[in-house]
Amino acid sequence: MKQDLYYVAVYCGENPVAVTPCFVDLKDVYFGNAPKITPLLKRMLVVANLFNLCNRYVLLCHSPAGCWRSKILFDENYDERLIMSKISDGIDYICKNKRITISSFLCVSASETNLMDSLNDFGYWKFFWRNTYSIKIQWKNFDEYLMSLNRQTRENIRRELRKSDENGVKIEVVSEFGHLSGVLSNLYSNLFMKYNKKQTSYYDASFFENLSKHAGDRVILFVATKKGKIVGFALCMRQNENLEGFKCGFDYSARSKNDFVYFNLAYYTPIKWAIENGIKEVYFGTGMERIKSKRGCKPDETFSFVKCHVGILDSLVRFYSMVPLSLKRKLA
With CA atoms as reference, report the closest residue to 105 among 314, 305, 307: 305
pLDDT tens digits, one per residue of 19-51: 888 888 877 767 766 665 556 666 766 666 666
Beta carbons within 8 Å of 131's beta carbon, 6+ residues apart: 286, 289, 299, 300, 301, 302
d(CA 187, CA 252) in angstroms, rounded, equals 9
pLDDT of residue 257: 77
Rounded to 10 degrees, what is the CA torsion of 302, 70, 3, 58?
30
Cα separation, 252 vs 274, whole angstroms: 27
Question: How many Å apart are CA 158 and CA 164, to the nearest integer?
Answer: 10
Provide CB contacts within 8 A for 283, sequence distance 6+. Answer: 132, 133, 134, 242, 243, 244, 245
The angle, 0 to 180 degrees and rounded to 10, between the axes of the packed helices 181-195 and 205-214 is 130
| Domain map (residue ranges) of the chain | 5-131+301-331, 138-279
pLDDT exceeds 80 at position 298: yes
> pLDDT value at position 327?
47
Place 332 in a pLDDT band, splitting at 50, 70 and 90. very low
Average of per-residue pLDDT values in the chain = 84
pLDDT digits (tens, 9 = 90+) for 112-167: 888 888 898 898 988 888 899 999 999 999 999 999 999 999 999 999 999 999 99
Comparing 115 with 298, the larger pLDDT belongs to 298
5-131+301-331 and 138-279 have identical folds: yes
Place 73 in a pLDDT band, splitting at 50, 70 and 90.
confident
Cβ neighbors of 190 (< 8 A, separation 6 or more) are 249, 250, 251, 252
Does residue 328 surpass a pLDDT of 50?
Answer: no
For residue 13, name the pLDDT band (cuts at 50, 70, 90): confident
DSSP letter at 265 equals: I
pLDDT band at 198 (very low <50, low <70, confident <90, very high): low
pLDDT of residue 318: 67
- Per-residue pLDDT reduced to its tens digit, 239-296: 889 999 988 999 988 877 788 999 999 999 999 999 999 999 999 988 889 999 999 9
May I ask the CATH class of domain 138-279?
alpha beta
Residue 234's pLDDT is: 95
Q: What is the DSSP string of 167-201?
A: TTEEEEEES--GGGHHHHHHHHHHHHHHHSTTPPP
Query: What DSSP string runs through 15-53?
Result: EEEEEEEEEE-TT-HHHHH--TTHHHHHHHHHHHHHTTS
Q: Which architecture does CATH list for 5-131+301-331?
A: 3-Layer(aba) Sandwich (3.40)
